[in-house]
Chains A and B, each alone.
Chain A
């Protein structure tokens, strides 16, 4: 199969790029180039129009005011809707996930209309922000497609409820994920939403390749010695860092929250 240059759009990094989210575009493009596929990263500033013809869109995390500004831009001419209709892949991280849902929390604290590309609703959490290492076991559907245990870092105040038709990435082993430590992420069609930044693709090459395979089909293996070493180290040390000093008590609270089916800690 011959593929023309794959274009990866980095959407409004000045507004949605707080947590090194541009790194996800770098990872996607490099993994294609290393396999001999031409790839380019198209950086789209908030001033210019977002092209609807890219193959992959990376939407990152951001602060309240820039987040709602980005949402307004993306709703105006609906370029992302057109791209998704045409089969584009979207990776939406943190605030990106929230913006792509049905509704999220605006800077005034009131519900704000999202893009509706993911079936989820985000509201303000009741406590502290969810901050720390996150480990997610992908659901059977994704592990059948090669996705392994995911490692990332979460930092969000909002809690996200999934609606029918949108499924999670998997179950949370460490951290809080969407809401209460039960499930993480939101996937609908080729739109992949997650609370893992880090950026997520640096630690999870299997996820990068899963998204890329939706664009270019089957992929040759790469030498992933370094990314896999980082993954192993994070999966080994991350959980203890999430609960420094209070390991068991804190993990127990998480478990309780999961059993009770409600969040305690944002």
Chain B
């Protein structure tokens, strides 16, 4: 399944036009200033300025380098991290990436402006922005993970997102490869618009958004083995070239890649990252690299060494408690997180906000099977802890409500506490833990002053 062509960066990364050069200088300067005065990573303001000075900066910055983009409702940050690390190892090159979750045009522009123009780029792209960005970025590889309900007040129709993905796939440059999850009907239908697709059997933990066929609306039936087919138009699961095999860590788990000769090759998967979904994310990343002709060995080794991704999966000491940090922001994400929790009766803190980046409507809490938390000490936290509290009440899960995140951690009453937070609650928690660490509280280990994931 290799694509013919050079490995790594294309030779002699193109020179930028004067206006784009000015945009890059100005944007990087502003981002630097923003960091100096402590206003965060500066990637968003810097990116705004880049695009304001030169609206076509993205296409200039993308030209002359290998670009891979990763999109999907869940797992895009982790997959981007795995893919970037694997590409560095397999390609023997540095990689430009946007690891801070800034995944709109501004964040992408800032990441490209900050990196050397000849380096390959692995970019996370918001699912609503994919169609707008692929035209400028002209990616060689587009990774499509999954689609499900998220930020209900903003993305009110997940099927419309699939429609836009399909158009994006149809508009890709000849030779571009789409690496797509064959197990998600919405993703599969979108990817079928592309000229060349590598199908990955990446699984689907949440099926409620895929029950209606994206092509005709009729019911999609799922079989035991992950096979699915529409009863109306016959749309069905493409046969995957790459799939995850086995459970858990060690030799039992591996990625199986079907070669052009039809023979399977097996690669062991030993990840530090927990959960079924991360094995799938690693398989998808591997498929993307193999499709570009890279050797899987170094890529697998690099992915195995990833322990945390922008704070996700980190273990942090705080006030005598070890917190395991997990992010879940929608029902599909939660369906995967249940299997990552320490066994009952391990205590769990759930933190929920409903700011703009989370979506103002937390109705999704009612699609999460919180009944599964019964029998553990549970603390409902975050700005919308009352919404969560009522959900837990009706789920029959005894719990405390503690709005403040650090206080919730202490209230959970355990040496090791699993903390599951949605997007802005997660970042609030990281900030609180970092402040506590800087203030000299007994070691907020694992979170350097440079911020989550900054130590690459």
Measured CA separation A66–B208 after assembly (Å): 12
Contact of A227 among B157, B364, B390, B396 (CB under 8 A): B390
Contact of B153 among A26, A132, A227 (CB under 8 A): A132
Please give, as numbers and ranges, the residues of chain B lying within 8 Å of A27 by CB-CB distance: 394
Please give, as numbers and ranges, the residues of chain A lying within 8 Å of B152 by CB-CB distance: 18-19, 155
Instruction: Establish whether residues B361 and A153, one from each chain, have CB atoms under 8 Å apart when the complex forms.
Output: yes
Measured CA separation A227–B386 after assembly (Å): 8
Interface size class of B (residues with CB under 8 A): 20 to 34
Please give, as numbers and ranges, the residues of chain A lying within 8 Å of B365 by CB-CB distance: 20, 23
Contact of B393 among A45, A131, A226 (CB under 8 A): A226
Chain A residue at minimum C-beta to C-beta distance from B153: A131
State whether the Cβ of A256 lies closer than 8 Å to any Cβ in chain B. Answer: no
Instruction: Establish whether residues B149 and A18, one from each chain, have CB atoms under 8 Å apart when the complex forms.
Output: yes
Instruction: Establish whether residues A199 and B153, one from each chain, have CB atoms under 8 Å apart when the complex forms.
Output: no
Instruction: Establish whether residues B212 and A15, one from each chain, have CB atoms under 8 Å apart when the complex forms.
Output: yes
State whether the Cβ of A218 lies closer than 8 Å to any Cβ in chain B. Answer: no
Please give, as numbers and ranges, the residues of chain A lying within 8 Å of B360 by CB-CB distance: 131-133, 153, 241
Contact of B212 among A23, A66, A153 (CB under 8 A): A66
Please give, as numbers and ranges, the residues of chain A lying within 8 Å of B363 by CB-CB distance: 19-20, 23, 153, 197-199
Instruction: Establish whether residues A20 and B366, one from each chain, have CB atoms under 8 Å apart when the complex forms.
Output: yes
A90-106: which residues lie under 8 A (CB-CB) from chain B? none
Please give, as numbers and ranges, the residues of chain B lying within 8 Å of A132 by CB-CB distance: 153, 360
State whether the Cβ of B156 lies closer than 8 Å to any Cβ in chain A. Answer: yes
Chain A residue at minimum C-beta to C-beta distance from B388: A230
Measured CA separation A131–B363 after assembly (Å): 13
Chain B residue at minimum C-beta to C-beta distance from A27: B394
Chain B residue at minimum C-beta to C-beta distance from A230: B386
State whether the Cβ of B218 lies closer than 8 Å to any Cβ in chain A. Answer: yes
Please give, as numbers and ranges, the residues of chain A lying within 8 Å of B395 by CB-CB distance: 26
Instruction: Establish whether residues A227 and B367, one from each chain, have CB atoms under 8 Å apart when the complex forms.
Output: no
Instruction: Establish whether residues B153 and A23, one from each chain, have CB atoms under 8 Å apart when the complex forms.
Output: no
Please give, as numbers and ranges, the residues of chain B lying within 8 Å of A47 by CB-CB distance: 219, 221
State whether the Cβ of A7 lies closer than 8 Å to any Cβ in chain B. Answer: no
Chain B residue at minimum C-beta to C-beta distance from A156: B156
Measured CA separation A22–B221 after assembly (Å): 21
Chain B residue at minimum C-beta to C-beta distance from A133: B360
Q: Mark A14-40, 1 if CB is under 8 A from B, else 0.
A: 110111111100110010000000000
Please give, as numbers and ranges, the residues of chain A lying within 8 Å of B149 by CB-CB distance: 18
Contact of B386 among A30, A45, A199, A229 (CB under 8 A): A229
B321-363: which residues lie under 8 A (CB-CB) from chain A? 360-361, 363
**Interface residues of A, count at CB 8 A:** 40
Q: Mark B381-392, 1 if CB is under 8 A from A, else 0.
A: 000001101110
Contact of B390 among A13, A202, A241 (CB under 8 A): A202
Instruction: Establish whether residues B217 and A65, one from each chain, have CB atoms under 8 Å apart when the complex forms.
Output: yes
Of residues B153, B360, B386, B390, which shows the largest number of chain A Cβ atoms within 10 Å of its Cβ?
B390
Of residues A20, A47, A66, which shows the largest number of chain B Cβ atoms within 10 Å of its Cβ?
A20
State whether the Cβ of B211 lies closer than 8 Å to any Cβ in chain A. Answer: yes
Instruction: Establish whether residues A64 and B157, one from each chain, have CB atoms under 8 Å apart when the complex forms.
Output: yes
State whether the Cβ of A69 lies closer than 8 Å to any Cβ in chain B. Answer: yes
Chain A residue at minimum C-beta to C-beta distance from B361: A153
Measured CA separation A238–B240 after assembly (Å): 47
Instruction: Establish whether residues A65 and B159, one from each chain, have CB atoms under 8 Å apart when the complex forms.
Output: yes
Instruction: Establish whether residues A155 and B219, one from each chain, have CB atoms under 8 Å apart when the complex forms.
Output: no
Contact of B217 among A26, A66, A197, A203 (CB under 8 A): A66
Please give, as numbers and ranges, the residues of chain A lying within 8 Å of B390 by CB-CB distance: 202-203, 226-227, 230
B192-219: which residues lie under 8 A (CB-CB) from chain A? 208, 211-212, 217-219
Please give, as numbers and ranges, the residues of chain B lying within 8 Å of A198 by CB-CB distance: 361, 363
Q: Mark A52-83, 1 if CB is under 8 A from B, else 0.
A: 00000000000111101100000000000000
Please give, as numbers and ranges, the residues of chain A lying within 8 Å of B217 by CB-CB distance: 65-66, 68-69, 107
Please give, as numbers and ranges, the residues of chain A lying within 8 Å of B208 by CB-CB distance: 13-14, 17
A1-18: which residues lie under 8 A (CB-CB) from chain B? 13-15, 17-18
Please give, as numbers and ranges, the residues of chain B lying within 8 Å of A20 by CB-CB distance: 363-367
State whether the Cβ of B319 lies closer than 8 Å to any Cβ in chain A. Answer: no
Q: Mark A107-134, 1 if CB is under 8 A from B, else 0.
A: 1000000000000000000000101110
Measured CA separation A129–B153 after assembly (Å): 10
Q: Mark B146-176, 1 if CB is under 8 A from A, else 0.
A: 0001001100111100000000000000000
State whether the Cβ of A87 lies closer than 8 Å to any Cβ in chain B. Answer: no
Contact of B389 among A13, A21, A46, A230 (CB under 8 A): A230
Measured CA separation A68–B211 after assembly (Å): 15
Q: Mark A196-235, 1 if CB is under 8 A from B, else 0.
A: 0111001100000000000000000000001101100100
Please give, as numbers and ranges, the residues of chain B lying within 8 Å of A46 by CB-CB distance: 211, 219
Chain A residue at minimum C-beta to C-beta distance from B220: A14
Closest Cβ of chain B to A200, distance in Å, is 10
Instruction: Establish whether residues B393 and A23, one from each chain, have CB atoms under 8 Å apart when the complex forms.
Output: no
Closest Cβ of chain B to A233, distance in Å, is 5
Please give, as numbers and ranges, the residues of chain A lying within 8 Å of B367 by CB-CB distance: 17, 20, 22-23
Instruction: Given A26-B394, A64-B157, A65-B159, decide whether A14 and B211 contact each other with a Cβ distance below 8 A.
Output: yes
Measured CA separation A92–B293 after assembly (Å): 54
Chain B residue at minimum C-beta to C-beta distance from A129: B156
Instruction: Establish whether residues B361 and A155, one from each chain, have CB atoms under 8 Å apart when the complex forms.
Output: yes
Measured CA separation A140–B142 after assembly (Å): 58
Q: Mark B380-417, 1 if CB is under 8 A from A, else 0.
A: 00000011011101111000000000000000000000
Contact of A63 among B153, B158, B219 (CB under 8 A): B158
Instruction: Establish whether residues B364 and A65, one from each chain, have CB atoms under 8 Å apart when the complex forms.
Output: no
Closest Cβ of chain B to A185, distance in Å, is 18
The 5 A-B residue pairs whose C-beta atoms are closest, nearest first, are: A23-B366, A20-B366, A14-B211, A20-B363, A65-B217
Residues of B within 8 A of A (CB): 149, 152-153, 156-159, 208, 211-212, 217-219, 221, 360-361, 363-367, 386-387, 389-391, 393-396
Q: List 22 A-B contacts (CB under 8 A).
A: A14-B219, A15-B212, A18-B152, A19-B361, A19-B363, A20-B363, A20-B367, A23-B366, A30-B394, A46-B211, A65-B217, A66-B212, A68-B217, A69-B212, A129-B156, A131-B156, A155-B153, A197-B361, A202-B366, A226-B390, A227-B393, A229-B389
Q: A202-B394, A226-B390 are in contact. List 17 more A-B contacts (CB 8 A).
A: A14-B211, A14-B219, A15-B212, A20-B363, A20-B365, A20-B366, A21-B366, A22-B366, A63-B212, A66-B212, A66-B217, A68-B217, A107-B217, A131-B153, A132-B360, A233-B386, A241-B360
Residues of A within 8 A of B (CB): 13-15, 17-23, 26-27, 30, 45-47, 63-66, 68-69, 107, 129, 131-133, 153, 155, 197-199, 202-203, 226-227, 229-230, 233, 241
